[in-house]
Chain A
Amino acid sequence: MANKIDFSKLERLTPRDDSWAKVCARLDAESANAPAKGKIIDIKSWYSAIPLAASFVLVSLTAILPALTDDVKSPEPITTETISINSSAPSEVLSWYSSLGNSASDEFETLEETVGFSYLIKE
């Protein structure tokens, strides 16, 4: 290219005779230090194992937990008490309750609000 600048007159360097030997020496020194570094746990290599281990733990817990909960017995069994509505509700509520579904009318049979509220408050 005619546009080029002519660098042919400029000094062209060649590497010093001992440069290659120095490169080799540095590489040898690095490789000599390499085994020491190898003893250190490579954290990065563990990164891929973490999700795998977490999955394993989750699966194990899923399998084991039901068995563990079956073994655990409550010291005092919870008992339930059935209370008849007949023994606690006022007569208005009882009559309304017993007449539910007996009417021929399509309209809803609603309990008077005041009676219902007083029953709920009482309960």
Chain B
Amino acid sequence: MQPNDFPAHQKGTMDEKVILQHLKEGSRDALALLWQAHSSNVLNLAFRMLKDRDQAEDILMDVFVQVPKAVQGFRGESALGTWLYRLTVNACLMKLRSQKRHRELEEEKLDVIVEEVIGKVDSQGEDFDAELLEKGLAQLPAETRSMLWLKDAEDLDVKDLAEIYKMPEGTVKARLSRARHLVRDFLKERKDHG
């Protein structure tokens, strides 16, 4: 059964508490609803952290496979989406740590992006900003990059971020501020020299 096959009337009426209850009972339909609502967000967050499409897809599947078991320990104190983000961040961090070449990965991806940027500047000048932004984001550690993505692209509250990353709200705000400055400075510098 595809997630889209789920009866339309149930999509609208099943709120999070009901979905959570069904998930705890092992309902595949509830999991399908969760997939439909959050899989794209999970995938993009994983992609922002890992900067690899295939690995991001693996993380997406890993996260949803572990949901039926992990949900048994979830007390519903936060939104399901926030909880999924936390699972995703943890899974990505574990993956990065297991690879033990976090920095090498960053540099490797940076090189790829540099090549892409150089290649596309000649042909597609208007797309340069997006590519440069990718390069600017790559300057940040994976965790901070994902935090900035969740705040500015997914519009999560600082409170949710504090819960996902298990750190005080003040620390989250400071990190976000520093990250934005770093990315902006990088973009400004590149444009000035461009």
- Whether B57 sits at the interface, judged by CB under 8 Å, is yes
Q: When chains A and B are docked, how far (Å) is the Cα of A49 from the Cα of B31? A: 35
Size of B's binding interface in residues, CB under 8 A: 33
Given known A-B contacts A4-B152, A10-B153, A20 and B43 have beta carbons under 8 A apart: no
Chain A residues with CB under 8 A of B64: 23
When the two chains form their complex, are residues B134 and A20 in contact, meaning their CB atoms are under 8 A apart?
no
Q: Please determine whether B35 and A23 come into contact, CB atoms closer than 8 angstroms.
A: yes
Contact B61–A23 (Cβ < 8 Å): yes
Min Cβ gap A18→B in Å is 10
CB-contact partner of B148 in A5, A15, A23, under 8 A: A5
Give every chain A residue within 8 A of B127 (Cβ-Cβ): 9
Interface contact B133-A9, CB-CB below 8 Å? yes
Question: Is B130 positioned at the interface, with any CB of A under 8 Å from its CB?
Answer: yes
Q: Are A19 and B153 in contact (CB under 8 A)?
A: no
Q: Is B84 an interface residue when CB atoms closer than 8 A count as contact?
A: no
- Nearest-neighbor residue (CB-CB) of B133 within chain A: A10
Whole-angstrom distance between the alpha carbons of A14 and B47 in the complex? 11
Answer whether residue B32 sits at the interface, using C-beta atoms and an 8 A cutoff. Answer: yes
Cβ A7 vs Cβ B2 within 8 A:
no
Asked if B184 is an interface residue, CB under 8 A from chain A, the answer is: yes
The chain B residue sitting closest to A12, CB to CB, is: B44
Residues of B within 8 A of A14 (CB): 40, 43
Q: In the complex, what distance in Å separates the CA atom of A11 from the CA atom of B148? A: 16
Q: Which residues of B contact A5 (CB under 8 A)?
A: 133, 148, 152, 180, 183-184
Distance in angstroms from B26 CB to nearest chain A CB is 9
State in angstroms the CA–CA spacing of A19 and B183 once bound together: 33
B59-89 interface (Cβ within 8 A of A)? 60-61, 64-65, 68
Q: Which 7 A-B pairs have the closest CB atoms?
A: A7-B153, A9-B130, A4-B152, A23-B64, A15-B39, A26-B65, A5-B152
Chain B residues close to A by CB (< 8 Å): 1-3, 28, 31-32, 35, 39-40, 43-44, 47, 53, 56-57, 60-61, 64-65, 68, 127, 129-130, 133-134, 148-149, 151-153, 180, 183-184
